Structure 1
Amino acid sequence: MGTWSSMPLTPSRRRFLQSASALPLLSALPGLSSAATANTAPGTKPVPVQNTVLNWLDAAPPRRFEGSTFGVPWPRGTLRLPASKQLYFTLGANAPAVQSWPLAYWPDGTLKWTAHAVEGGRTAAHWQLEAAAQSVKPARAVAVQQGASQITVTAGDTTWIVPTGGEYLIASATRAGRLTMQGLRLVALRQDGPDPDDVGKVSTEAFTSKVTQVTVEQTGPVRAVIKLDGTHSGNGRDWLPFSVRLYFYAGSQSVRIVHSFLFDGQPARDFIRGLGVTAQVPMTNETYDRHVRFAGEGAGVWGEAVRPVTGLRRDPGQAFKDAQVAGQALPPLAGMAKPVRDGLQWIPEWGDFSLAQHAPDGFTLRKRTRAGQAWIDANAGTRAQGLLYAGGAAGGVALGLKDFWQRAPVRLDVRGANTALADVTAWLWSPSAPVMDMRPYRGLDGMDTFEKQNAGLNITYEDYEQGWDDATGIARTSELQLWVLGGTPSHADLADMAEQVARPARLTVAPARIHQCGVFGDWDVADAGTPGRKLLEDALTVQLDQYLREAEQHRWYGFWSYGDVMHTYDTDRHMWRYDIGGYAWDNSELSTDLWLWYSFLRTGRADIFRFAEAMTRHTGEVDVYHAGRFKGYGTRHGVQHWSDSSKQPRVSNAAYRRIYYFLTADERVGDLMRELLDSDRHLANVDISRKLAKSAAREAKDDFISVSFGTSWGSIVAAWLAEWERTGDRRWHDRIRDGMESIGALQRRWFAGTAPYDFNTGKFIGPGEHVSISHLNGMFGVIEMSSELLTLVDAPAYRKAWLEYCRYYTAPKTDVVALLGKDPGGRGMTDTGSRMTGYAAYQARDKALALRTWREFFQSAFLKDGGAALTPRRVGGADVLRPLVELPNLSTNATAQWSLAAIQNMALVGETLDEAARAAGLIP
């Protein structure tokens, strides 16, 4: 048996160790210790980190910067919160100010993650985040003053008034003393039936926001955050609960709005006709000095005046036309050509404007003079950026909606621009589109018994039971940006603002900087420096690029769907199986979210970040129930995101949100993880294994129910870990440890697979003498969680049990029989299960076991026949709706798990990869 010390270092690992050893100590800086305790994560050497380089996610600085918040990890033992409980950092001399706070802690109490908010305005190619003895405040800091009936936020020369209750989220905003916006509120339109084509006459009623609770979460000086909770109210009914956060940054003229709502209606009779955010804009300029702007395709902008002076039969003079096109006040009218000056009253005033994007590939732009008059077509295009402006030369409001065309059907409206008060509205669901229909896609269709449902499951892979395909309780989060401006922005400025809406500027730290801190378990930085690594890195890249391509090829867009991917490809139709039961929407099966986030951690690629971000926004909201009988659980893969009747904690899994949370400090995702803390108790109320054979051991009794280690406990434990990290509360550590150690105390340990679980203590009980193996037990993040937890929690019995399971799960049958007395079967997906072998090899420093890891991994179809399975092919002509590039027989299950195994194996036993690949004939 080879020893680990005899294995050569890969170039990536050698470079890492060299760079790590060159970093200076931090003993001179306040709150920083001069040494770090050891981590056991592979390939990491905990070292103090003095200066942290911040890069832009998109490499180049943005043309417009409205401020940003990001997370930074620290090696264990490096950074300690001072007694003052205040963290101070700078970006260097003459750089923007930074506001910093703790985000997570190591078990020894030192800081694991810190969050940092940077003021808007100035940018640079990169900055260095440095610990400081005191804060550097922005020249025009954000300030918050709290009163009984309102909260006043001041940012530069802009003042925002936030009521503590009532209809408005923001009552008013003044810029340089001028009232520029008022009455920001939420609106919803309910229809009592589907569209008239289906049922005939329908009626519509309007609802508006009713704020019931306001919480000030941060007060500046760089960033202030206010959370507002409430419902949509009207006609004696309160429904559609919402949670909205308002983010104010120093150096910015805007407020970022994160809007989350929960669908709590009855799908058969509550149809959402429209859902939006609206505000009023005082229009004080003459109508020829009032302007409307819409961001179009790319950097394109459409802009016109309420009363245009261009294109007239008579020429007013070039200076007047130039000023109006530029959004400036016209010169004194005395200089205007007399026929035009005398005839201004006869030029129509255009009061209403609408840009509707009802499909991802097309938008229309229309305008009319006023309500009751006909609309005329103004223009059209493919994909609008999602930003409007309404106002005049004296000031106005710009309102934008992120992921605009991706979330179609959406709409941007200006109403009454020719009156004293214009309305601007961002419709998250356009009222001119078909209604939002939350009904199930299918009926009972004869499946009225358990046996028939099981038969259907066998054919379509759909777990169906009437009444369990319910959308009530799911949620959706949208992001908006609202500017209060002192004048009409130029076309170029509006284009820059639209870019900020569509792709917000983000600051990040390099993959190597994250990796050296020992966070998120077993991974390393992407490195194709050896033939074996190049083989795997190329295969990983092919699959990532294909999924990015598939989202566009097959239009994985829409209000409820954007961010998800499909489950299995149908090569015969050259389509994904969008209409075939459990083969349709993926809903995080098998750990797709983790695959994307680990891919970003390794590469730093902006396109992967945004793909993963959209998935986190989707899977944490739409695929999970936030209220009702299924609260805390997600829905298994299906034709609709809520249609499958299997409700599982493996879908609501906090492990799928945790990486994004720490990278961004996103409060909404933090809320979603916190929602899951007591979801283990709901296992007694929701039978998540209804289509599986029952046994007496699985029956719930009092405070006990049989719980699987991987698919259930392993998913729920991620929420406890996140809460322990975020708060340092030992209750969650103890619950994690007790669960781990109780598994280790069972007779068959991890091979028991499942055991009675005590909700009150978090412990598994009973002898655990039966063997129960399922390949699914390791597919939903428990492998990643175990790797992390064993570096954080002292649980020797669990460590022994997990290492045993890792060594034997994919072992030869004779070894398994020697251990268990029989071959229990169930040990599927050997290639992806190889990462457990790799973990055992790394921990034991066992070269023979490391080589076995690669032999198991190389059984994958992805690497056979010269990688034929990963060779894209073009399909065109009459065989497809549009030309496409496909990977035949693509399966998200296989892709996600294979990729996670490749990532973990390279981190754990990468030193033996080339030797094993040569022996397998995969490289020369």
Structure 2
Amino acid sequence: MSALPETARSATANTGGKAAPVSGTALIWLDGKAPARFEGATLGVPWPRGTVKPVGDKTPRFRLAGAGAGLAMQSWPLAYWPDGSLKWTAHAIAGGAPAGDLRIEAGAPASTPMPAAVSVKETADGIVVTAGDIVWTVPKAGEHLIASATRAGRVTMRELKLVALRQDGPEPEEGGSVTRQPFTGKVARVTIEQTGPVRAVLKAEGAHSGNGRDWLPFSVRLYFYAGSDSVRIAHSFVYDGDPARDFIRGLGVTAKAPMTDASHDRHIRFAGEGVGVWGEAVRPVTGLRRDPGQAYRDAQVAGKALPPMEGMAKPVQAGLQWIPEWGDFSLSQPTSDGFVIRKRTRAGQAWIDSNAGTRTKGLAYAGGAGGGIALGFKDFWQRAPTQLDVRGAASAMADVTAWLWSPAAPAMDMRPYRAADGMDTHEEQVAGLNITYEDYEEGWDTPAGVARTSELQLWVLGATPSHQAFSDMAEQVANPARLALSPQRIHQCGVFGDWDPADAGTPARKLIEDRLAAQVGLYIKEVEQRRWYGFWSYGDVMHAYDEDRHMWRYDIGGYAWDNSELSTDLWLWYSYLRTGRADIFKLAEAMTRHTGEVDVYHLGRFKGFGTRHGVQHWSDSSKQPRVSNAAYRRIYYYLTADERVGDLMRELLESDADLHKVDISRKLPANAARAAAPGLVNASFGTMWGSLVAAWLTEWERTGDTRWRDKIVNGMQSIGGLKRRWFASAAPYDPGTGKFMGEGDHIAISQLNGVFGVVEMSSELLTLVDAPAYRRAWLEYCRYYNSPKEELVALLGKDPGGRSQIDSHSRLTAYVAHHEGDKALALRAWRELLGSSGFLRGGVFTRRVDGVAVLRPLDEQPGVSTNGSAQWGLAAIQNLALVGDSLDEAARAAGLVS
């Protein structure tokens, strides 16, 4: 990797002068305290430029200190600075870590042997992963993700595999019938990605197979941690069916638990509400007409083997055979607001209602005193309809299944929500767009190619867990313990551009910080208040509000689901970076999981592109890279080292080569400025090129491959070489070289060019590459976008119009003010931000609405817009970092503080 020249002045406001080693790397628990149970975790750690050098081709050695001294830690590189020094490293920490302070420091790891270290051994037809006394056998191909798992020599789990149910039509509305077909995951290949000693990772790829057909391609990663008796499963699949005839009736992960104990020593557990646990035996001895004795009742409730039978009351001994054995158990969560538990003795007999509740953390156990398995998945009630099943618990082998889509629910309906309704031409479709804000085009509202990732956990246990232990396990499923860094520690390293840790130290800063907190808090509350849940929808938020109905515009074309419009994802991630708040992290994480999977196509003609905001996540016919934008994923990737998100960003590296397949401007009037020669495609600088560079930057950082850097620089320098530079707005683009072509002598301004991550990416790039022509062009654009009309006319010769969102573009003014040391521009930037009507109206104003006007009492913010919330938030964050020293003066001049 070759070093690049340093630029004249850093464009990253949080990097002060020459980089210095960080003073310490203290790890903190994201939720503020150590968990009761810890199954291991991985986090990313940044380093200032030039301070941590690789040793040859190897990562420098790191170790845990503090209470973690003596524990092993596995480390590897995630990203490099242009000079070849480490920018990000990843660190895997074993399960069972102590609750005290943990720190990462340079140096040789402790020499203390690590108990339960993970090792991987490859054979001709399989892979064996050993973690302590658990041995996992993974075939290289076939139906099983894991063929078996033994604990202390006992086979405790068999045949972990994927299952799906296909239905050939929707639920019959009046008579009629449908048929169903079962499918089983068929693994085509397994890749060993890490081999321990703290973390081993295997990636299995294949498709669901059955009835002579393969569909629903998947990739599944298996994560094994030292000190843990579980495997974490990251399950990703792509919907590739015909929505008119391929309805998913069930989608799940299933495993078998050998049931070797007597039926009265076999136990089922389900996570209940909160910390609650539902637990019963296959053959109960409590509640009988005859009392077996206190010791027997206590043992069974605790999940332990009953004392010797000779001590049991004689009438119960003699009558055990007449007590029904309950073989099948089911917990179904049809909605986010309720679940029900039922059981039956066997197939063909009636189900009996047992209990019910609101929300469960989503974990089931089946086994006996000699051991068993627990299986569950994250976001269980948030992604309803979901289900957990145990079948055959009274037989020699029980099946435990986690249904990501419950077969008890109606089949998943992926059909378009509307028909053409007369919109047969582009002219008619544009007319419709002008009414509903939806870009409709028949055949473009397809779900074929969208994906979803789910996170599961499977334990192989040596005994039935106590209620408390099972409750702690359920908490780890629903809310995995995460280690994180403080905002200050991340900020020291100059990563992610212009931001600084939250600081309410002056009255004016408190005014800004309070509004930033209130805006994020509003959306955190709205997720629950509006029930923004469901298999495909959880993680997204709505776009615009209808205060007449006291509802978000969920059914009005392009005003419904947000789909990353105007960088909502970035707003949440920068809000987390500044505050370290767990609730913001979790909202941003859910959004990253959603927007990178559901809103983006992973195969087919739209592969690499995302779908503009709409009633369904795939319903709008505008397919653009501004939605698939890697800038929305990379912060999460670097904070967590999540491999699936890394895959998603790599999917986008060549997507510019397909821009010609989807003409985004096809419905607009002909415009000579948009004409492009064969082999070229007209591309806007912000919504298209600016949405592509994040993938190239991330790949350059991850691999050191300079072709991606060169492609970025080609684009930057060629924009700077156009006659009108950034004010050309768009130009013919060559995907082969990354260069813009032509004279660029036309003038156009679009507020959309600056609101899909290009501002943040430009801030980073100008600290990493030497692109003087682009620097001049960008500073020019930043100075004049919000300038008085006469100044813009003096520069361009005319007023092209198109300028709007003055407050969100105040960060452009702040950027040039910071880099040119212009105090007057700094004050102008604050006037642009503070002068927005929303701010002067009192910030985030909410009101209570109840009674017959609404479905349930709620708090609403009239006129709320996610566009405005995200962009105002991003502008405020960047302004604080760039020109925060001018805020108090500007706020006093505006009369906002005294």
TM-score range, shorter chain: over 0.9
CA distance in 2, matches of 1:702, 1:225: 45
CA distance in 1, matches of 2:654, 2:397: 48
Pick aligned residue for 2:274 from 288, 292, 298: 298
1:475 aligns with 2:451: yes
Q: Identify the residue that residue 888 of structure 1 maps to in structure 2.
A: 862
Q: Identify the residue that residue 320 of structure 2 maps to in structure 1.
A: 344
Q: In 1, are the aligned partners of 2:373 and 2:461 still within 8 Å (CA)?
A: yes
1:791 aligns with 2:764: no
Q: Identify the residue that residue 93 of structure 2 maps to in structure 1.
A: 118
Task: After TM superposition, list the pairs within 5 Å mapping 1:87-126 onto structure 2.
Answer: 87-92=60-65, 94-126=69-101
Q: In 2, are the aligned partners of 1:217 and 1:227 still within 8 Å (CA)?
A: yes
Pick aligned residue for 2:830 from 854, 859, 872: 854
Q: Identify the residue that residue 61 of structure 1 maps to in structure 2.
A: 34
Task: After TM superposition, list the pairs within 5 Å mapping 1:419-498 onto structure 2.
Answer: 419-498=395-474
Deviations 1:235-267 (A, max 9, x none): 100000000000000000000000000000000
1:876 aligns with 2:847: no
Q: What secondary structure sits across from 1:406 in the alignment?
A: coil
Q: In 1, are the aligned partners of 2:7 and 2:769 still within 8 Å (CA)?
A: no
Task: After TM superposition, list the pairs within 5 Å mapping 1:512-531 onto structure 2.
Answer: 512-531=488-507
CA distance in 1, matches of 2:252, 2:670: 47
The offset of 1:90, in angstroms, is: 1.3
Aligned partner of 2:153: which letter? G
1:131 aligns with 2:106: yes
The offset of 1:770, in angstroms, is: 0.4
1:902 aligns with 2:873: no
The offset of 1:860, in angstroms, is: 1.1
1:70 aligns with 2:70: no
The offset of 1:133, in angstroms, is: 2.9
Aligned partner of 2:102: which letter? W
Deviates more, 1:42-51 or 1:855-864: 42-51
The offset of 1:126, in angstroms, is: 2.6
CA distance in 2, matches of 1:285, 1:701: 74
The offset of 1:690, in angstroms, is: 2.7
Deviations 1:397-434 (A, max 9, x none): 00011000000000000000000000000000000001
Count of aligned pairs between the two proteins: 888
Q: In 2, are the aligned partners of 1:315 and 1:340 still within 8 Å (CA)?
A: yes
Deviations 1:602-652 (A, max 9, x none): 000000000000000000000000000000000000000000000010000
Aligned partner of 1:102: which letter? P
Task: After TM superposition, list the pairs within 5 Å mapping 1:327-366 onto structure 2.
Answer: 327-366=303-342
1:608 aligns with 2:581: no
The offset of 1:450, in angstroms, is: 1.1
Task: After TM superposition, list the pairs within 5 Å mapping 1:701-712 onto structure 2.
Answer: 701-712=677-688
Q: Identify the residue that residue 6 of structure 1 maps to in structure 2.
A: none
Deviations 1:40-80 (A, max 9, x none): 41133322025300000001000000000000000000101
Q: What secondary structure sits across from 2:290 in the alignment?
A: coil
The offset of 1:198, in angstroms, is: 5.6
The offset of 1:95, in angstroms, is: 4.4
Shift of the 99–50 alpha-carbon distance from structure 1 to 2, 3 Å rule, reads: farther
Q: What secondary structure sits across from 2:356 in the alignment?
A: strand
Pick aligned residue for 2:219 from 243, 261, 268: 243
CA distance in 1, matches of 2:42, 2:803: 44
Q: What secondary structure sits across from 2:334 in the alignment?
A: strand
Aligned partner of 1:59: which letter? G
The alignment-based identity, stated in percent, is: 71
CA distance in 1, matches of 2:671, 2:746: 13
Deviates more, 1:190-199 or 1:637-646: 190-199
Shift of the 739–351 alpha-carbon distance from structure 1 to 2, 3 Å rule, reads: same
Aligned partner of 2:591: which letter? M
Q: What secondary structure sits across from 1:227 in the alignment?
A: strand
Aligned partner of 1:889: which letter? G
Q: What secondary structure sits across from 2:598 in the alignment?
A: coil
Pick aligned residue for 2:147 from 167, 171, 180: 171
1:44 aligns with 2:33: no
The offset of 1:213, in angstroms, is: 1.1
Aligned partner of 1:680: which letter? D
Q: What secondary structure sits across from 1:870 in the alignment?
A: coil
Aligned partner of 1:313: which letter? R
CA distance in 1, matches of 2:561, 2:70: 45
CA distance in 2, matches of 1:699, 1:171: 57
Q: Identify the residue that residue 25 of structure 1 maps to in structure 2.
A: none
The offset of 1:452, in angstroms, is: 1.0
1:762 aligns with 2:735: no
1:629 aligns with 2:608: no
The offset of 1:692, in angstroms, is: 2.4
Aligned partner of 2:732: which letter? P
Q: In 2, are the aligned partners of 1:96 and 1:120 still within 8 Å (CA)?
A: no
Aligned partner of 1:896: which letter? A
Shift of the 123–339 alpha-carbon distance from structure 1 to 2, 3 Å rule, reads: same
The offset of 1:856, in angstroms, is: 1.0
Task: After TM superposition, list the pairs within 5 Å mapping 1:252-401 onto structure 2.
Answer: 252-401=228-377
Deviates more, 1:153-162 or 1:115-124: 115-124
Deviations 1:767-803 (A, max 9, x none): 0000110000000000000000000010000000000
Q: What secondary structure sits across from 2:809 in the alignment?
A: helix
Q: What secondary structure sits across from 2:713 in the alignment?
A: helix
Query: C-alpha root-mean-square deviation of aligned residues, in Å?
Result: 1.3
Q: What secondary structure sits across from 2:28 in the alignment?
A: strand
Q: In 2, are the aligned partners of 1:38 and 1:76 still within 8 Å (CA)?
A: no
Aligned partner of 1:724: which letter? W
CA distance in 2, matches of 1:698, 1:749: 15
Q: What secondary structure sits across from 1:757 in the alignment?
A: strand
Shift of the 342–386 alpha-carbon distance from structure 1 to 2, 3 Å rule, reads: same
CA distance in 1, matches of 2:446, 2:180: 23
Q: Identify the residue that residue 208 of structure 1 maps to in structure 2.
A: 184
Q: Identify the residue that residue 618 of structure 1 maps to in structure 2.
A: 594
Q: In 1, are the aligned partners of 2:9 and 2:819 still within 8 Å (CA)?
A: no
CA distance in 2, matches of 1:39, 1:853: 20
1:731 aligns with 2:669: no
Deviations 1:67-126 (A, max 9, x none): 000000000001011125143211126443210000000000000000000000132233
Q: In 2, are the aligned partners of 1:65 and 1:123 still within 8 Å (CA)?
A: no
Q: In 1, are the aligned partners of 2:10 and 2:766 still within 8 Å (CA)?
A: no
Q: Identify the residue that residue 548 of structure 1 maps to in structure 2.
A: 524
The offset of 1:449, in angstroms, is: 1.2
Q: In 1, are the aligned partners of 2:282 and 2:326 still within 8 Å (CA)?
A: yes
Aligned partner of 2:100: which letter? A
Deviations 1:551-571 (A, max 9, x none): 001000000000000000111
Q: In 2, are the aligned partners of 1:151 and 1:161 still within 8 Å (CA)?
A: yes
CA distance in 2, matches of 1:599, 1:676: 26
Aligned partner of 2:893: which letter? A
Q: Identify the residue that residue 916 of structure 1 maps to in structure 2.
A: 890
Pick aligned residue for 1:79 from 52, 58, 69: 52
1:559 aligns with 2:532: no
Q: Identify the residue that residue 32 of structure 1 maps to in structure 2.
A: none
Q: Which runs of 5+ in 1 are unaligned?
A: 1-34
1:221 aligns with 2:192: no
Aligned partner of 2:77: which letter? P
Aligned partner of 1:105: which letter? Y
Pick aligned residue for 2:385 from 409, 418, 422: 409
1:684 aligns with 2:660: yes
Deviations 1:822-847 (A, max 9, x none): 01111111111010000000000110
Q: Identify the residue that residue 501 of structure 1 maps to in structure 2.
A: 477
Aligned partner of 1:306: which letter? V
Q: Identify the residue that residue 784 of structure 2 maps to in structure 1.
A: 808
Deviates more, 1:45-54 or 1:347-356: 45-54
Q: Please, what TM-score do these two structures have when normalized by structure 1? A: 0.95
